[in-house]
Amino acid sequence: MEPGRIDRSAALPFYAQLKELLLPQLGSVWKVGERLPGEVSLCEQYGVSRTVVRQALDELEGEGRIVRRKGQGTFVAARKVDESLFQSMTGLHEDVAARGSVLVSAVRRLEFAPATADAARELEVEEGSPLLHLERLRYVNDEPWALTSTWLPHQVAPGLLDEDLTRQSLYALLEDKYGVSLDHGRRLVEAVPAAPSVAEALGVDAHDPVLLLRSTAWDQEGRPVEYFTAYHRADRSRFQVHVRRRRRSGAPPSMLVSDSSD
């Protein structure tokens, strides 16, 4: 993608390109609390339709990077402070089974797709490189619970495109069939307003608060093997955390978190 311009020959959708062009300007060109140019101005600047602009802004709002105020405009959101956590590698499939409930996934997408900037950075590949992309709407007891988008390098699970992921655990599949030894991960949870597409999938109102979980997993050789984002209904999900006091040596606290992706 040429800096500052939409690449009309690229496989990455225009709205995703526009999002990546706007991201580095949030907090730099436009400071926290400042208003972004209007939709018409963005259309003219980047040569795209209003639909593309709105979809890119929906994505940024869903990630908590911007705030829309009715009748006022779109503003740069304050960044949240990250906590250093060590977390368990359990997933939604395991958590739901432990409660005696039933988890079913509607697979909305399972294909090769060009890596987004976030997925490329976390999986250490070039932006736009082909990755396995799995999108699932997870139902617990027939109720929409979480919308997850998972990215994996093809060599991690070369037969994944032929798998039925409606009822089976992705982590169990990776470990038992493809010999992936999951070792550790980094996860971040934050509250964000639901973008219209996320709200429709989860059965909530647009801009209602949802929990956004971002996760990267590494295997025992230290290779990044999975990156996902998951939007959870805030009225249906909770995260259980076990906390250990920080030692004077400066080691970070140890925490176990029940999460969502598996």
Element (H, E) at 50: helix 50-62
The answer to whether 261 touches 230, Cβ cutoff 8 Å, is yes
Residues 142 and 38 both lie in one domain: no
> Cα-flanking dihedrals φ and ψ of residue 253, to 5°?
-70, 150
Q: Which residues of 43-63 are buried (b: 16+ CB within 10 A; e: fewer)?
A: beebebeeebbbbbbbbbbbb
Residues 58 and 134 both lie in one domain: no
Residue 4: inside a domain: no
Please name which of 168, 155, 160, 164 lies closest in space to residue 133, comparing C-alpha atoms.
160
Give the bridge partners for 242, in sequence order: 256
What total of structural domains would you count in the chain?
A: 2
Residue 157: inside a domain: yes
Residues 221 and 136 both lie in one domain: yes
pLDDT tens track of the chain, all 262 residues? Answer: 445 889 999 888 999 999 999 999 998 999 989 999 999 999 999 999 999 999 999 989 888 889 888 889 999 987 665 444 444 555 555 555 555 667 899 999 999 999 999 999 999 999 999 999 999 999 988 889 999 999 999 999 999 999 999 998 899 899 999 999 999 888 888 899 999 999 999 999 999 999 999 999 999 999 999 999 999 998 777 776 666 666 665 555 444 444 445 5
Structural domain containing residue 24: 14-76
Residue 87: inside a domain: no
Q: In this structure, what token pair is assigned to residue 55?
A: 């979809």
Residues 139 and 111 both lie in one domain: yes
CA distance linking residue 121 with residue 125, whole number of Å: 7
